[in-house]
């Protein structure tokens, strides 16, 4: 069996952390390995515990979750996917979180199944945005002028700056990413292995200059692949 997904819970409310722990610890493939009650503590715990996924609150004492996210992402020894989990459906939190390097944004009123799905998606390298905010993210980033101007080798579409052209297969993978497909779904659709999909996704992010899959999806929309 694969090792369980190691999760760090960060929230200044002990009751909420306990609730999240109860939900996640019922899953055989997930293990909560630590908790933190502030952003500053989260930075320390992330370095010490090396979790796979961090569920991060925003409003906390000492240091807020967005600054903690920025510091954790900047630590070369920590390779954790971070989801912001907040009560507040606010655009400024959302955009600042994505700019800081968060790969997910979830509202605290989400159900248990959504919380579990978010942890698994982040651990698999997928982004995870609450359905309520996905449309706003795409609208905001798609409205940002795209840098000029190298087109893909295999797709006739609006031009986006690329480090080098996408291959035909990479363009296919990016199209499926933009359709919110997971790695396993992409693998099934293209009749390839998940490891191969991960390799393609890594190459796509590198060529697009995208930090994560969320940014890659935005660029795919600009390129007419979605």
Q: What is the pLDDT of residues 190-205, one digit of tens each?
A: 999 988 998 998 899 8
pLDDT of 86-143, one tens digit each? 887 677 777 788 778 888 888 888 889 989 999 998 888 777 776 666 556 656 655 5
Question: Between 138 and 8, where is the model more confident?
Answer: 8
What is the tens place of the pLDDT at every residue in 57-89?
999 988 999 999 999 999 999 999 999 998 876
SS (H, E, C) the chain: CCCCEEEEEECCCHHHHHHHHHHHCCCCCEEEEEEECCHHHHHHHHHHHCCCEEEECCCCCCCCHHHHHHHHHHCCCCCCEEEEEECCCCHHHHHHHHHHCCCEEEECCCCHHHHHHHHHHHHCCCCEECHHHHHHHHHHHHCCCCCCCCCCCCCCCCCCCCCCCCCHHHHHHHHHHHCCCCHHHHHHHHCCCHHHHHHHHHHHHHHHCCCCHHHHHHHHHHCCCC
For the whole prediction, is pTM greater than 0.85? Answer: no
Give the residue, 26 or 125, on which the prediction is more confident: 26
For 155-211, what is each residue's pLDDT tens digit?
333 345 676 889 999 999 998 887 767 788 899 999 999 889 989 988 998 888 877
């Amino acid at each position: 069996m694969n090792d369980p997904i190691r999760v760090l819970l960060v929230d200044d409310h002990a009751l909420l952390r306990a609730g999240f722990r109860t939900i996640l610890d019922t899953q055989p493939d997930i293990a909560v390995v630590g908790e933190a009650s502030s952003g500053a503590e989260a930075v320390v715990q992330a370095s010490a515990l090396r979790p796979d996924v961090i569920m991060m609150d925003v409003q906390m004492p000492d240091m807020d979750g967005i600054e903690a996210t920025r510091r954790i992402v900047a630590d070369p020894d920590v390779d954790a996917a971070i989801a912001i989990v907040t009560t507040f459906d606010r655009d400024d939190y959302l955009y600042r979180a994505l700019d800081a390097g968060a790969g997910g944004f979830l509202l605290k009123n989400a159900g248990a199944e959504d919380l579990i799905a978010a942890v698994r998606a982040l651990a698999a390298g997928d982004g995870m945005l609450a359905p309520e905010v996905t449309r706003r993210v795409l609208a905001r980033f798609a409205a940002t002028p795209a840098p000029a101007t190298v087109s893909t080798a295999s797709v006739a579409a609006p031009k986006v700056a690329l480090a080098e052209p996408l291959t035909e297969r990479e363009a296919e993978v990016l199209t499926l990413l933009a359709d919110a497909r997971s790695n396993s779904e992409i693998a099934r659709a293209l009749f390839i292995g998940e490891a191969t999909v991960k390799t393609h996704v890594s190459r796509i992010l590198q060529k697009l200059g995208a930090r994560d899959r969320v940014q890659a999806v935005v660029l795919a929309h600009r390129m007419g692949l979605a």
